[in-house]
Chains A and B, each alone.
Chain A
Amino acid sequence: MVYHPRENWTRRGRRGLYSRRDFIQRSTAAGLSLTAFSSWLAACGGATGEDIEVVIGTPTSPATQPLFDDVPAIESSLAPEAGPLRIYNWEDYINPEVIPLAEEAIGAPIEVTIFYNEEEAFGKLLSGEVQYDVWFPAGESIGKAVAGKLIQPLNHTYLPNLEQYVWPELKSPFYDVDSLYTVPYVVYQTGIGWRSDLFDPADVEGLANPWDVFWNPKYKGQTVLYDDFRETMQMAMFRAGITEPRDASAAQVEAAADSLIELIDLMNIRYRIDGAYQGIPDGSFALSLAWSGDMVNAQYYFPEEADVNGVLGYLWPASADGSTVNGLIANDTMAVVKGAASPVLAHNFINWMLDEANSLENFAWLGYQPPQVGLDPAVLVTDAWIPENLAAVAITSEDFARPRAVVPTQLTPETETLWAQQWSRAKAGG
């Protein structure tokens, strides 16, 4: 029997003229297809990870990260690969002028890809769809990165500079005892930065609770906080007198979010990630929650003709005179990504970055201080690496041991979820 094309088209479904048997057959076929499609997509999605355990170290309870048979370190004395070396780093987190020097030193081209926050970096690395050799995770995230098998153990025979140049306190940090997976990159504090021509330092210096300055309506419309839930939520908790935010109760976290909501009307608060290093120089803000390195950077964002001498100020509540509240101090790291195409080059690059001269060259542009034994903070000021008015941004290894210095650690899943929920509430306005 031959159908007319139109008849054929109509019979097959336009008017839904299926027999019961047709319907069952087609539904079964569709169901099987969907199941097969689902299985395929699930396979693409990777492991669900219910059996993964994250080893979380704290300053009082350092952690040795586990080693896995399927994630070995590279052998010693291997020849470097041809490259390119693929670096996965924060935006503006390495001196562009250092790259060609490093390329010459390791004998291979370098490609830099950037990420904007750790969530993005973790998401991409976990997807397995990107391939990098060197990654710059925060110290507090190492447990999660190891548990997710995102980074591979280091072979220290390629890293003699770790022993030679790095602060002893960070050669075996609490989050990665014996530096099995990481080496430190830079250190930083989270403090209060300002522009002296728009802000009166007397409004923050000498206060028992310097964090209160962000709730001072005198600077309404001129204040900016980081668009980063960990930093800003912790600041609000420090301000409330909580000494260790990771141990805060749900009610305390909620109260911290409420205090941030209060800022919307009280201060017309703005959230930006570039508020300190860009918003302060361009006059958008007088006062900012500020990473120490951002304040060093800020001087380079003023117009060329501007006289920045003495214009910028910075205070870290954990060490400020008269202060009784805590503040954050932390470090970022360098690690070799699991499955790196050029792991020997990656080790060679990391070792090169740990060299004192090279790290100083990087600091000159980056503004974030490498934890180098040979870099005396006082000399950084006298040699004009750091302006005199910003001397407070220079960090010593002793700063990590101050009684009111809090080193961030990996949050438990429950705590991180709670903070995220409350941060979303604070950003949404209630």
Chain B
Amino acid sequence: MPTNLQAAETDSVGLKDWVWKAAAAPGLVWLVLLFVVPFYAILAIAMGRLHPVQLRPVPEWNPLQWDLGPFGEVWSGLFGGQLGVIAIRTLLYVLAACALSVLIGYPVAYFVARKAGKRKGLFLLLILAPFWINYLMRMLAWVNLLHNDGFVNTAITAVGLAPQDWLGGRPSTVILGLVYGYIPFFILPLYAALDRIDGQVLEAARDLGASTRAAFFRVTLPLSKQGILAGLVIIMLPMFGDYYTPNLLSGSPRTQMIGNQIDQYVNQTTSQGRHGAALTLILMMAVALLMLYYLFNIARVTEEARE
């Protein structure tokens, strides 16, 4: 008969603790290699030096010799300089794209989860099908559709409307591009959340006298809040760093986003590569706050559910 100590060293399926630790090791190594080391490399570049001749960033791996200059310049550019304008523009674009994603995506997810019946699988397939094609290719397809001689202008002129310069640096085109690019990643977690809502809860609401509208707003919507949050977090994070959507659908400085500025620093004017790394770190910190809010919210809801 095992002693108490031996029992504690095994779990309910009879495996020793070290087995689980060993099983987690590849994942930990993966995380270290693909997150921690690259993160430290970005930090070392942001705080590093500029090669005096080649004008490329030289990473400084020793924290004792870090140079905070470029970081400070980016920081002051964000609070009082043109970088701040770009940051606010990025925030507005992302918020607008998220709002549109909710308005468009919620009814779709609701329909598939609660009304599609046996055709759920088919509808999910239809939503996902275009996204088997690479993001860049889909955006290039939009460029062909929207350019001045493209199909969209051909169609609207056929019905007597004036052609539009869709790719002429319009914020609306960029926002719609962002929505189109990321909306399935909003719909899927929301669909999962809506699908999990127990139908009996809604029946109970109706039995207690709630109208269809009241049942939706007082039961379905609150219960799907975590799905909305999860979907928003998933689409917001890549939207903040997106640069090829504004590049392809606009190309105008008027629609420049933070991602474009990083691309500019890193790929074009490499003498400012350290500024690009610093801006990347600041962006990471900003989106980490969003992520923390989401995790905090999840933890709170889990705690409430336990109580």
- B-contacting residues of A (Cβ < 8 Å)? 2, 4-6, 34-35, 37-39, 41-42, 45, 48-50, 52-54, 116-117, 119-120, 122-123, 126, 144, 147-148, 221, 224, 227-229, 264, 268-272, 275, 282-284, 413, 416-417, 420-421, 423-430
Contact = CB atoms under 8 A, between A and B. Distances in A.
Contact of B253 (A38, A224, A271, A283): A271
Given A264-B252, A268-B168, A270-B252, A117 B54 contact: no
Q: Is the interface of A mostly helix, strand, loop or mixed?
A: helix
B153 to A, nearest CB: 9
Contact of B252 (A35, A54, A268): A268
Contacts of A275: 251
> Which residue, of A4, A45, A227, A269, has the highest number of chain B Cβ atoms within 10 A?
A45
B82 A144 contact: no
B253 A41 contact: no
Given A227-B251, A427-B253, A427-B256, A6 B265 contact: no
B147 A282 contact: yes
Contacts of A425: 82
B209 interface: no
B253 A126 contact: no
Interface string B62-85: 110000000000000000001101
Closest 8 CB pairs of A and B: A420-B269, A283-B149, A38-B61, A41-B61, A270-B251, A283-B148, A428-B82, A119-B270
Interface stretch (B44-52, B215-223, B225-233, B295-303): B44-52
Interface residues of B, number: 48
A53 B54 CA distance: 10
A268 B254 contact: yes
Contact of B59 (A4, A41, A229): A41
Interface of B: 5, 8-9, 17, 41, 44, 49-56, 58-59, 61-63, 82-83, 85-86, 144, 147-150, 165, 167-169, 250-254, 256, 260-261, 264-265, 267-272
A284 B250 CA distance: 11
B69 to A, nearest CB: 13
B168 A430 contact: no
A45 B59 contact: yes
A420 B50 CA distance: 14
A133 B22 CA distance: 44
Contacts of A147: 53
A59 B232 CA distance: 58
Given A45-B58, A48-B51, A49-B52, A428 B17 contact: no
A264 B169 CA distance: 10
Given A35-B62, A45-B61, A429-B82, A52 B8 contact: no
Contact of A428 (B83, B150, B270, B271): B83
Nearest to B85: A429
B268 A49 contact: no
Contact of A49 (B8, B54, B269): B54
Contacts of A126: 54, 56
Given A49-B53, A117-B268, A427-B256, 18 more contacts: A2-B5, A38-B62, A39-B61, A49-B52, A52-B52, A116-B267, A119-B56, A119-B267, A119-B270, A221-B165, A228-B268, A284-B147, A417-B50, A424-B272, A428-B82, A428-B86, A429-B253, A429-B254
A417 B253 contact: no
10 contacts: A5-B8, A35-B62, A49-B54, A50-B52, A117-B268, A122-B270, A270-B168, A272-B251, A420-B270, A420-B271
B61 A42 contact: yes
Contacts of A426: 253
A224 B168 contact: no
Contact of B269 (A37, A270, A423): A423
B268 A428 contact: no
B63 A34 contact: yes
A225 to B, nearest CB: 10
Contacts of A116: 267
Contacts of A413: 52-53, 55, 271
A284 B169 CA distance: 12
A216 B52 CA distance: 40
> Which residue, of B9, B56, B83, B269, has the highest number of chain A Cβ atoms within 10 A?
B269
A122 B54 contact: yes
A126 B41 CA distance: 16
A335 to B, nearest CB: 16
B246 to A, nearest CB: 11
Contacts of B168: 221, 268, 270
A175 B5 CA distance: 78
Contacts of A144: 53-54
A59 to B, nearest CB: 22
Given A428-B86, A428-B253, A52 B268 contact: no
